[in-house]
């Protein structure tokens, strides 16, 4: 990569400087390189892949250093696009929540209710049960509304209130409905976390997939580098920025809150620790969830590696925080971003959207389409 960097640079600068080697930056680099553009990606971290980066730990177990990443999408276009760079291993994620001393399926389903309350309801009866305990809300606005309106206060308190307060440092009543609405309620016995059409893990991991995306002679990658330290040294026509948008503008309107996590990685001398990929702990610990990687990757190994997630306000920005005042502050930054010539903002941090990986890929592919008129133009040196 260093070699292609020197050769590329000697020629005549770059067409595109891309900040960040996560999904947003890497998809755009690949697309732009494929139509003959010369691209340099500048990444602050010592690796590609952004938060989806994976690696083998000391025990030889494939782990996700930034928390468990499970790929799922309903978009054929996104799945087909990524399939150029990886084979897949089918995987359907299952999650249990540690509630009242039991490990119960989440999303809440028929079995969750029956086991929690010692009932034997049918699917039709559980729908009536939800209706009988629901607290109807006239206008569903918050993350509290969306749950109590559907399943009532007790299930809300047991599964959502404590988890959300830990994860976000806010009460669900202070967060947009979209946050807890990510988790559906079911009357069936379906215990999959996602129901998307395509659910699979990159067969050899995310990092290998990113390596394959970026293995193009038109793409140079600089790791361990903040773009601000090199931007003047790298002549380029267009900047694509995938970092936090408020940082780009030196916080001119104030800080946009991004929620962070501390990850505690543990390896145990036993084959399996828990029955499924993730166990949530809504009320009983300071961590929110524990994930066991071998369930997710399908690896066989005599030992097992886990990650515990401890939410925090300080640290690397991982989650935009969906609530009205933050959307309003983001709009100010977005207006300045729109007014800039030759700079494009894309990705979860730069557009302040609580996007999954597939949504970021879709956004990057759409951004590439929007760049097409510019790509058709002739570059002047």
Our finding on whether 177 is near ligand UDP (CB under 6 A) is no
Q: Which is nearer to ligand FAD, 109 or 363 (CB)?
A: 363
DSSP symbol at 94:
B
CB of 223 to ligand FAD, least distance (A): 9
Residue 222: which H helix or E strand, with range? strand 219-222
Query: Pick from 31, 37, 69, 158: which binds ligand FAD (CB under 6 A)?
Result: 69
Using CB under 6 A as the criterion, what x/- string covers residues 106-125 for binding ligand UDP? x-------------------
For residues 179 and 163, give the distance between their C-alpha atoms in angstroms, rounded to a whole number: 12
Query: Pick from 159, 258, 293, 368: which binds ligand UDP (CB under 6 A)?
Result: 159
Kindly write down the DSSP assignment for every residue of 113-170, as one continuous string.
HHHHHT----HHHHHHHHHHH----SS--BHHHHHHHHHHHHHIIIIIIHHHHHHHSS
Our finding on whether 356 is near ligand FAD (CB under 6 A) is yes
* Gyration radius (Cα) of the chain, Å: 22
For residues 24 and 180, give the distance between their C-alpha atoms in angstroms, rounded to a whole number: 25
Query: Pick from 34, 56, 178, 182: which binds ligand UDP (CB under 6 A)?
Result: 182
Of residues 152-211, which lie at the interface with ligand FAD (CB under 6 A)?
A: none
Residue 199: closest CA among 90, 125, 96: 90
Using CB under 6 A as the criterion, what x/- string covers residues 281-320 for binding ligand FAD? -------------------------------------x--
Q: Which is nearer to ligand UDP, 29 or 201 (CB)?
A: 201
Q: Which residues of 137-164 are buried (b: 16+ CB within 10 A; e: fewer)?
A: beebebbbbbbbbbbbeebbebbbbbbb
Using CB under 6 A as the criterion, what x/- string covers residues 78-107 for binding ligand UDP? -------------------x--------x-
Cα maximum dimension of the chain: 74
Q: Which is nearer to ligand UDP, 183 or 343 (CB)?
A: 183
Residue 86: closest CA among 220, 197, 201: 201
Q: Which of ligand UDP, ligand FAD, none does residue 167 bind to, with CB < 5 to 8 Å depending on kind?
A: ligand UDP
Binding site for ligand UDP (CB under 6 A): 97, 106, 159-160, 163-164, 167, 179-180, 182-183, 280, 282
């Amino acid at each position: 990569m260093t070699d292609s960097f020197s050769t590329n640079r000697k020629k005549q600068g770059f067409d595109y400087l891309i900040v960040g080697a996560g999904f947003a930056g890497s998809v755009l680099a690949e697309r732009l390189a494929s139509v003959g553009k010369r691209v340099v990606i500048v990444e602050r971290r010592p690796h590609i892949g952004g938060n989806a980066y994976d690696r083998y730990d000391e025990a030889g177990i494939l782990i996700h250093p930034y928390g468990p990443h499970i790929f799922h999408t309903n978009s054929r276009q996104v799945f087909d696009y990524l399939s150029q760079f990886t084979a897949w291993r089918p995987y359907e994620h299952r999650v249990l929540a540690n509630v009242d001393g039991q490990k119960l399926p989440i999303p809440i389903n028929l079995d969750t209710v029956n086991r929690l309350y010692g009932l034997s309801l049918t699917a039709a009866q559980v729908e009536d049960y939800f209706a009988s305990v629901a607290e109807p809300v006239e206008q569903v606005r918050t993350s509290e509304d969306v749950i109590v309106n559907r399943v009532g206060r007790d299930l809300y308190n047991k599964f959502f209130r404590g988890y959300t307060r830990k994860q976000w440092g806010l009460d669900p009543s202070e967060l947009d409905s979209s946050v807890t609405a990510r988790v559906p309620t079911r009357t069936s016995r379906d215990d999959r976390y996602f129901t998307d059409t395509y659910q699979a893990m990159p067969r050899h991991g995310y990092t290998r997939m990113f390596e394959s995306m970026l293995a193009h002679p038109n793409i140079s990658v600089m790791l361990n580098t903040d773009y601000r330290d090199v931007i003047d040294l790298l002549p380029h026509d267009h900047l694509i920025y995938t970092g936090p948008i408020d940082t780009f503008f030196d916080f001119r309107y104030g800080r946009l809150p991004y929620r962070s996590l501390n990850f505690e990685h543990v390896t145990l001398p036993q084959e399996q620790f828990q029955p499924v990929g993730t166990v949530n702990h809504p009320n009983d610990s300071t961590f929110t969830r524990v994930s066991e990687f071998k369930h997710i990757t399908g690896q066989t190994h005599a030992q097992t590696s886990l990650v515990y997630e401890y939410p925090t306000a300080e640290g690397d920005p991982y989650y935009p925080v969906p609530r009205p005042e933050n959307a309003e502050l983001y709009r100010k930054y977005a207006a300045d971003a729109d007014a800039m010539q030759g700079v494009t903002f894309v990705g979860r941090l730069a557009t302040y959207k609580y996007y999954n990986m597939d949504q970021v890929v879709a956004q990057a592919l759409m951004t590439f389409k929007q760049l097409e008129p510019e790509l058709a133009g002739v570059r002047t040196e």
